[in-house]
Amino acid sequence: MHGWQIGDSKIIRVVETEDTSMPAEALVPDATAENVLPIKWLQPHFISPEGELISSVFALLVESCGKRIVIDTCLGNDKERIVPQWNMRQGDFLNQIATAGFDRESVDYVVCTHLHPDHVGWNTMRVNGEWQPTFPNARYLFTQADWDWLDNAAVSALGDYAGDSVRPLFAAGLADLYAPDHQLTDEVRLVSMPGHSPGHIGVSIRSQGESAFVTGDMIHHPCQLAHPEWRSPFDFDGNTAQKTREQFLKDYVGSGTLVIGSHFATPAAGYVVTDNHSYKLDIENS
């Protein structure tokens, strides 16, 4: 478990998976071995010596202004999913967050960067055959645009993840819908970053002159810094997703803001710097 201190805000990264099990075709189809091996800075952290993408599913635990926030809740346990490595998982996420001092009863807010199954899983846990809120004292924040989309979507090929991981929060009266940009604490802002999903957000954390930005799936893999035009097959609107990514990189290059990529493998964060005619992730001191 590792993390970062951003001014007065503390961020802890809790990893559920980190491996090469998600192939380029599913993550970023243009990121073939042939295409990524020439991008030398991706090794050794983000691609294997064979050019396979290394990716991670993780949550961020944030303490800010006396509030406890969980950003993205990974895959969860006991959930039926068609992706084999996502199906009926039995991970130790709850032990990990307790070890980090983040008992689930102590969490004030749960923020999902978007409503996909690898970002909402631990919203709920199965207790006596029923899906109960994992964080019973938290407000769960979903963007109105993402909920409008998911609520009306056909049951996904990825399983009825709305039914087991999102709808139970509405039933429990713990869900709040909001429109980004939304200021959550004096330091934490939920910023509209649309495209991957209709209401996709990133999370800006600013404190004492220091800053971090959590990308969500606006960027899936660091190779998209070298090639912002490479897209995810899961983008709701690929054109908008690409524009959002390109604008973000323009805005944040050389900014000194620590960029935390929601599926980036360890060390998971770095600074956007120029590299020839594009960008790379500088992970020194990250």
Q: Taking the alpha carbons of 93, 82, 197, 220 in that order, is the dihedral positive or negative?
A: positive
- Of 16, 63, 118, 146, the one binding Zn ion (CB under 5 A) is 118
Closer residue to Zn ion (CB): 118 or 146: 118
Residues 51/37, Cβ–Cβ less than 8 Å: yes
Size of the site for Zn ion (CB under 5 A): 2
**CA separation, residue 149 to residues 90, 188, 260, 269, 280 (Å):** 29, 25, 26, 30, 33
Closer residue to Zn ion (CB): 118 or 187: 118
Q: How many of the other CB atoms lie within 10 Å of CB of 250?
A: 11
Pairing of strands 201-207, 188-192: antiparallel
Give min distance, CB of 119 to Zn ion, in A: 6
Give min distance, CB of 118 to Zn ion, in A: 4
Pairing of strands 67-71, 201-207: unpaired
Distance (Å, whole) CA 135 – CA 149: 24
Give min distance, CB of 217 to Zn ion, in A: 4
Binding piece for Zn ion, criterion CB under 5 A, among 114-122, 142-150, 167-175, 206-214:
114-122
Closer residue to Zn ion (CB): 118 or 164: 118
Closer residue to Zn ion (CB): 63 or 217: 217
Q: Can the peptide bond before residue 181 be classed as cis, meaning omega within 30 degrees of 0?
A: yes
Residue window 170-189: x/- pattern of binding to Zn ion, with contact defined by CB under 5 A: --------------------
Closer residue to Zn ion (CB): 119 or 206: 119
Tell which positions 211-250 bind Zn ion, by CB under 5 A. 217
- Output b/e per residue, 135-148; b: 16+ Cβ within 10 A: beebbbbbbebbbe
Give min distance, CB of 65 to Zn ion, in A: 27
Give min distance, CB of 264 to Zn ion, in A: 11
Give min distance, CB of 206 to Zn ion, in A: 24
Binding site for Zn ion (CB under 5 A): 118, 217
